[in-house]
Amino acid sequence: MYVTVIGAANMDVNGFSEHAMVMEDSNTGSVDFCAGGVGRNIAENLVHLGAETHLISVFGDDMAGEMLKADSKKIGLDISHSMFVHGSSSIYLAVMDNDGFMKVALCDLGRLNDISIEHLEAQSSFIEKSSIIVIDSNLAPTIQDFILQRFQDIPVYVDPVAVDRAINSVDCIGKFHTIKANRFEASYLTGCPIPAPGEADWKEAVEAAAQKLLDKGIKRVFVSLGKYGSYCRTEEESFFSPIVGGAPVNSSGGGDSFMAGIVWGSLQGWDNKRTTRFASAMSGITVGSKSTVCQNMSVALVEEKISRGGAETRRLQ
């Protein structure tokens, strides 16, 4: 039983402002480099939980690509079914304010466009034995459509990544089994405006958007709502779930770990409430870590986080 993740792998460059940021000016702070990419982050989180996980992405032969390959080997993430090409690797640049929340980010993920239908077809005998396939919306629409058509008997989960990437999934959104989206992505994919949490009728708007995704054909919808927790909806049930987290250090990667928690809960056969609680705790641990993926992530750590009722964790590196 294994999971195949198909999506972005890139070098993350994370900047942390020492003080409240002054836009259009130089700010004192620190800069860290770490392996990243939505698909790769989801895959690494699953490896830390103990799930056999295989990542299909694109790796260049530059310094960033070599670092990504070395990191994958170190953590036990199989990338042997990926594409290895000559040239630069994908890069993601994010800048966090002194409160740990991202102010702006830029992504150069053009390398992922090298993934071809021919390559995925060549890997099909391996992919078709997956228990779950996870993709991120960095993939081109033609690639997403191929995956959904070619592997119809396998549940495919999607992370829309961002509004400008969700456009890649809009035409085939109803063919996915499970989606994890934030309110902006959910609003874009459904055309249902969702006010900021706390504003009038925001809960009703979240519910309406989730129902519209179900109406399109998706079996299970998760909407992440930041400090307001998350929302889950299926044809049988719907519920809001509180956040399980403390003070953020780096908000990048929180959604990726949430998706990994959903996948893990599915592999364990858990009900949706237990799965959501576990995913929320994973996200809380991750945003409390300086790295995009918490290097100490484990099932035991998540269960400890849940048992302490979401009290702020120690800062994990």
pLDDT in tens, 133-189: 999 999 999 999 999 999 999 999 999 999 999 999 999 999 999 999 999 999 999
Band of pLDDT at residue 310, cut at 50, 70 and 90? very low
Has residue 31 got a pLDDT over 60?
yes
The pLDDT value given to residue 246: 66
Provide the pLDDT confidence category of residue 311 given band limits of 50, 70 and 90: very low
Whole-angstrom CA distances from 32 to 15, 16, 46, 95, 96 are: 7, 8, 23, 10, 11
Cα distance between residue 233 and residue 114, in whole Å: 35
Which amino acid makes up residue 286? T
The token duo for 108 is 């150069």
Give the Cα separation of 126 and 137 in Å (integer): 22
CB 8 within 8 A of CB 112: yes
| Structural domain includes residue 315 | no
Identify whether 242 is part of a domain. Answer: yes
Backbone angles phi, psi at 75, to 5 degrees: -90, -5
Let me know if residue 175 belongs to a domain. yes
DSSP tally for the chain: helices H, then strands E: 11, 14
Structural domain boundaries, residue 246: 3-20+32-307
Lookup result for tokens 């698909």: 39
The edge-to-edge listing of strands for the beta sheet with 90-96 is 29-36, 10-17, 90-96, 102-108
- Give the model confidence (pLDDT) of 196-207 as tens digits: 998 999 999 999
* Residue at token pair 């994890």: 180
The answer as to whether 26 is a domain residue is no
Domain of residue 289, CATH code: 3.40.1190.20
**Structure tokens given for 66:** 């070599």
- Is 244 within 8 Å of 310 (Cβ atoms)? yes
The number of CA neighbours under 13 Å toward the Cβ of 100 is 18
Element (H, E) at 266: helix 254-268
Calpha distance 174→22 (Å, rounded) = 42
Percentage above 70 pLDDT, the chain: 95
* Residue 316 domain-assigned (yes or no): no
User: What pTM does this model have?
Assistant: 0.90
User: How many separate domains does the chain show?
Assistant: 1
pLDDT at 44 over 90: yes
- 27 within domain boundaries: no
Q: What is the pLDDT of residues 224-248, one digit of tens each?
A: 998 889 999 999 999 999 888 766 7
Angle between helices 254-268 and 272-287 (to 10 degrees): 150
First to last CA, the chain: 30
How far is residue 277's CA from residue 262's CA, in Å, rounded to a whole number? Answer: 9
111-114: long-range contacts, CB 8 A cutoff, minimum separation 24:
111/10, 111/58, 111/60, 111/85, 111/87, 112/7, 112/8, 112/57, 112/58, 112/138, 112/139, 113/140, 114/58, 114/83, 114/85
Contacts of 259 (CB under 8 A, 6+ apart): 42, 134, 157, 159, 180, 279
Q: Which two tokens stand for residue 186?
A: 């959910």
Q: Is residue 267 part of a domain?
A: yes
User: Rounded CA gap, 187 and 181, in Å?
Assistant: 9
Residue 50 placed within a domain: yes
